[in-house]
Chain A
């Protein structure tokens, strides 16, 4: 391997790593706030890419149907639980939040589509359409068992991933998509060709991580989220609703996953089930950060990207085996580093 090839591989790896980093940060965000290891996150990224591709092809994306179905389910569940608790006054607000709002989003997409909007608008539409999915899934799947052990939540999360893969096939079909590049520019850095797409991916990763940092440090909601992550009971006593903090976390996380999906779609062909590997690799990065540290997760994700890039040069068929085998030493290191309490254990 010459230095040139190494440089190309490294740049490639950094670009892939930046995509993983966005998803990894979202995974950490959701885990700290809700204790859910949200495996379906990669699916959200893949769905965003597929949604954008459908919009490019002037079709109503399957995501619209998915959002409508999930919104109806979430709304029914929320109203039923409010009715059981005899808090009927809260029903209009619940219907607004869980049903009307997602439907408005779908409506906007449906209307805007007819005017053949330009690329940037299509990207915004795709992100808009994808964002309600995770919060709605949270309401339907995780909220009823919010106090269960991390392990049970993980099992549910894995099952949810498979449900989403099936839905993905149903709504998007088996064809892979590759969207048009966002830019065709290219630059040279020290003699190495770097595509504009790579620059764009890196910029987006930096911008979104920066925005997240500002959000956490300078807004009240951001601080509430951090408080919930540190101590749910304590946050509750301070008037923060963990459920609402969870919704905000899922919305933010979906945005990060969505952006990563849009960034990767012009580089790799995305299928309905591409999200699993994307999510898991991001997740390896998140574990490097101990599922707690955002910079750690981002660094880990870059590491995974670079390793994958070099591994695929050595043996393209075995690159995934290499990446996942790496997870075991990382887990060992994290498990030994973390203090584990036995109180979590379910009898």
Chain B
């Protein structure tokens, strides 16, 4: 499909939405209104859960906070609904920011459990605070007015709801295609990669969390002024899982999935209410939640992918145009060849009683390729993790470009100019090659959240895209920039990691066993690539097992054994060193 065809489809969809209230009966319009309102909350959850990988059971609580906030402002204090909107958004986002600040460092299911906890706690508050009508709720909420027109009828508020939904969809799609959005998409699959790109995973999670709450707030505001009544019921834990169901059924990784999921769940619920009484008289209310939960479980067992991604698989591929030449991104000033770049002095790391790295010291000079080798268990990977900040040294000092990085966080070290690859390839398999490499440019670009969502910084984006394409071409993957990274063979995935690292314009490139699992031809090509990088004055530190690969490539070698440095020197000297031979092959019997 071409972009023009997509624009046509979007225009047709908008035309249908605008025409709907003139053709449909009032009941269907009311249904559409609720779909739109639920869709907003579900889109927030699609961002948080599907894109960011944070499963939240608490979205209903955010919707509730906003609904109660605007009810308090308008029904109890008599101010305008627009003031209610302001307060609803501020209150919801502040609560989300505080909750997120406290809980987003939690890992995996601990984080999701915390959403159950605060979701319940907030829902309990609605029914128990004296000023909020307790379990009876707050009635008499005024309608929203635009100028002199009060949006009383469902046909009137319909346009407001769906205009907001359309705007949110547009902004979210822009956002996901921007610098911050790519970082959000990278969250799913673990923090290590994200931090290694100079991105603060915590910060991005917090941003995603607050955006999800913001969309929940919009939903809650509209909900309160559509129904003109709020009570604790619709914001309890059960609704939290219903929102999750909407987001996941629609396809949690997809923004449009939020709308589709909201539509399916709402329509299904409606028809269940119509048909269940025919099957079981008088028990339909009970069966409704049973049927729903059962369907959701079945869905989670059989079709976790969701509807929108499933259908999108049948559409013809989107034809994207290759990035065009653009102004280059600013480059780092590289130190002159031969100067001291990285200095490791007396670094030590213990795991309980085991000393994995024991007082190791070595230097890396700019412009060289240094190999770090050693038998299994020598402490290579631990040393590597100390350099990149994935682990902290217990004692000793690591200085990079004259500055101590011993206590720095991973993303700070990455920003200082150390880019890394991983022994077990860490890519985002569902992102394209170009997007994966674009992740590398994060620390060199500055487009913020709003600028990205509103497409205000297209010049920088064009530069970044062109830079990413150039790095892909540099490593030999420039022919298919829109292929999905997961479709590449292992050898090319490793090369893609290098392109991503290069896109950060590093001073020092650290590679963790880049030749592991590669075939001979692939190894030769990789060695060739690394030599060409050295010719461009890039400094490279590599940890490697494959002796032939290391010996033919590197300038100097540091040998580790049992956590300590055994020796260092040029490849020929290392090869003939008796201690190295003993460490690798055992003593001469």
Q: Chain A: residues with CB nearer than 8 A to chain B?
A: 37, 141, 144-145, 149-152, 154-156, 158-160, 162-163, 165-167, 169-170, 276, 280, 287, 317-318, 320-321, 324-325, 327-328, 331-332, 334-336, 338, 340, 342, 344-347
In the complex, 26 of the A-B residue pairs with CB atoms within 8 angstroms, ordered by the A residue number, are: A154-B109, A154-B113, A155-B112, A156-B300, A156-B301, A158-B241, A159-B245, A159-B293, A163-B293, A165-B289, A166-B286, A280-B116, A280-B120, A317-B128, A318-B124, A318-B128, A328-B118, A331-B103, A331-B106, A332-B102, A335-B111, A336-B105, A342-B189, A342-B191, A345-B108, A347-B189
Closest to A344 in B: B108
List residues 423-468 of chain B with CB under 8 A from any CB of chain A: 428-430
Q: Are B105's CB and A332's CB within 8 A?
A: yes
Closest CB in chain B relative to A35 CB, distance in Å: 10
Q: Which of B110, B283, B428 has the most chain A CB atoms inside 10 A of its CB? A: B110
Given the known inter-chain contacts A158-B57, A318-B124, A335-B107, please indicate yes or no for A152 contacting B300, CB distance below 8 A: yes
Interface residues of B in 124-138 (CB under 8 A from A): 124-125, 128
- In this assembly, does B121 line the interface, its C-beta being within 8 Å of a C-beta of chain A? yes
In the complex, chain B residues whose CB is within 8 Å of the CB of A345: 53, 108, 188-190
Asked whether B287 lies within 8 Å of A166 as measured between CB atoms, the reply is yes
* B46-78 with Cβ < 8 A to chain A: 53, 55, 57
Taking a contact as CB atoms under 8 Å apart, the answer to whether B128 and A159 are in contact is no
Q: How far is the CB of A151 from chain B (nearest CB, A)?
A: 5
Query: B318 at the A/B interface (Cβ < 8 Å)?
Result: no
Partner of A170, one of B105, B283, B301: B283
* Contact for B107 among A166, A276, A340, CB less than 8 A: A340
Query: In the complex, which residues of chain B have a beta carbon less than 8 angstroms from the beta carbon of A145?
Result: 300-301
Please name all residues of chain A whose beta carbon is closer than 8 Å to the beta carbon of B103 when the two chains form the complex.
328, 331-332
B120 touches A320 (CB 8 A): yes
Q: Give the nearest-CB partner of B248 in chain A.
A: A155
B296 at the interface (CB under 8 A from A): yes
B116/A158 in contact, CB under 8 A: yes
Using Cβ atoms and an 8 Å threshold, which residues of chain A touch B398?
none
- Asked if B297 is at the interface of the complex by the 8 Å CB criterion, the answer is yes
Question: What CA separation (Å) do A166 and B108 show in the bound complex?
Answer: 29
Shortest 4 CB-CB distances between A and B: which pairs? A163-B293, A166-B290, A327-B117, A166-B289
Q: What is the bound-complex CA distance between A96 and B248, given in angstroms?
A: 37
Given the complex of chains A and B, what is the CA–CA distance between A287 and B117 in angstroms?
12
Chain B residue, CB-CB nearest to A150: B109
B300 touching A167 by the CB < 8 A rule? no
Are B293 and A166 within 8 A (Cβ)? yes
Q: Is B238 an interface residue (CB 8 A)?
A: yes
Cα A347 to Cα B187 with chains together (Å) = 10
B192: Cβ under 8 A from any A Cβ: yes
Once the chains are docked, how many angstroms separate the CA of A325 from the CA of B114? Answer: 9
Is B290 touching A170 in the complex (CB atoms < 8 A)? yes
Which of A159, A324, A332, A335 sits near B120, CB closer than 8 Å? A324
A331 and B111 CA atoms in complex are apart in Å by 8
Q: Mark interface residues in B200-237 (1 if CB within 8 Å of A CB, else 0).
A: 00000000000000000000000000000000000001
Closest to B119 in A: A324
Closest residue of A by beta carbon distance from B192: A342
Q: Would you give the shortest CB distance from B427 to chain A, in whole angstroms?
A: 9
Pick from A156, A169, A324, A332: contact of B297, CB below 8 A: A156
CA distance A318 to B244 in the complex (A): 27
Task: Give the number of residues in B that approach A within 8 Å (Cβ atoms).
Answer: 52
Judging by beta carbons under 8 Å apart, are B112 and A331 in contact? no
Instruction: Give the distance in Å from the alpha carbon of A56 to the alpha carbon of B108 in the complex.
Output: 45
Complex Cα gap A37–B550 (Å): 48
Q: Given A155-B55, A324-B118, A325-B118, A162 and B289 touching (CB < 8 A)?
A: yes
CA distance A154 to B109 in the complex (A): 8
In the docked arrangement, what's the CA distance between A311 and B432, Å? 53
Measured CA separation A245–B267 after assembly (Å): 41
**Interface membership of B288, Cβ < 8 A:** yes
Given A152-B300, A166-B287, A336-B105: 6 more A-B contacts, CB < 8 Å = A151-B108, A154-B55, A162-B238, A163-B297, A166-B286, A166-B290
B244 / chain A contacts, CB cutoff of 8 Å: 155
Cβ of B537 within 8 Å of any chain A Cβ, yes or no, is: no
> Shortest distance in angstroms between B42's beta carbon and chain A's nearest beta carbon?
15
Tell me which residues from 238 to 260 in chain B have a Cβ below 8 Å from any Cβ of chain A.
238, 241, 244-245, 248
Q: Is B304 an interface residue (CB 8 A)?
A: yes
Q: Which residue of B lies closest to A336 (CB)?
A: B105
Docked-complex contact A151 and B118, CB < 8 angstroms? no
Across the interface, do A347 and B238 meet the contact criterion of CB distance under 8 Å?
no
Name the distance in Å between B112's Cβ and chain A's nearest Cβ: 6
Please report the C-alpha to C-alpha distance between residue A167 and residue B128 in the assembled complex, in whole angstroms: 28
Across the interface, A347 reaches (CB within 8 A) one of B118, B188, B287, namely B188
Scan residues 393-429 of chain B and give those whose CB is less than 8 A from a CB of chain A: 428-429
- B10 contacts the other chain (CB 8 A): no
Question: Quick check: is B294 within 8 A (CB to CB) of the other chain?
Answer: yes
Contacts of A37 in B (CB 8 A): 109, 113
List chain B residues, Cβ under 8 A from A287. 113
> Which residues of the partner chain A approach B55 to less than 8 Å between Cβ atoms?
151, 154-155
Q: Are B297 and A159 in contact (CB under 8 A)?
A: yes
Selected from A156, A163, A334, the residue in CB contact (under 8 A) with B290 is A163
Q: A145 CA to B238 CA in the complex, in Å?
A: 23
User: Taking the nearest CB of chain B, how far is it from the CB of A27, in angstroms?
Assistant: 12
Closest to B134 in A: A317
Expressed in whole angstroms, the Cα–Cα distance for A342 and B192 within the complex equals 8
Residues of A within 8 A of B191 (CB): 342
Q: Mark B166-195, 1 if CB is under 8 A from A, else 0.
A: 000000000000000000000011111000
Complex contact B105–A335 (CB within 8 A):
yes
The distance in angstroms between the C-alpha atoms of A344 and B191, with both chains bound, is: 12
Q: A327 near B114 (CB under 8 angstroms)?
A: yes
> Do B121 and A325 touch (CB < 8 A)?
yes
Q: Of residues B53, B109, B124, B190, which shows the largest number of chain A Cβ atoms within 10 Å of its Cβ?
A: B109
Q: From the candidates A144, A151, A321, A332, name the one contacting B109 in the complex (CB within 8 A).
A: A151
Chain B residue at minimal CB-CB distance from A163 = B293
- The residue from B110, B238, B248, B429 contacting A331, defined by CB atoms under 8 A apart: B110
Is A342's CB under 8 angstroms from B190's CB?
Answer: yes
Q: Which residues of A contact B102 (CB under 8 A)?
A: 328, 332
Q: Tell me which residues across on chain B come within 8 A of A158, comparing CB atoms.
A: 57, 116, 241
Q: Give the nearest-CB partner of B240 in chain A.
A: A158
**Given A152-B300, A169-B286: A163 and B294 interface contact (C-beta under 8 Å):** yes
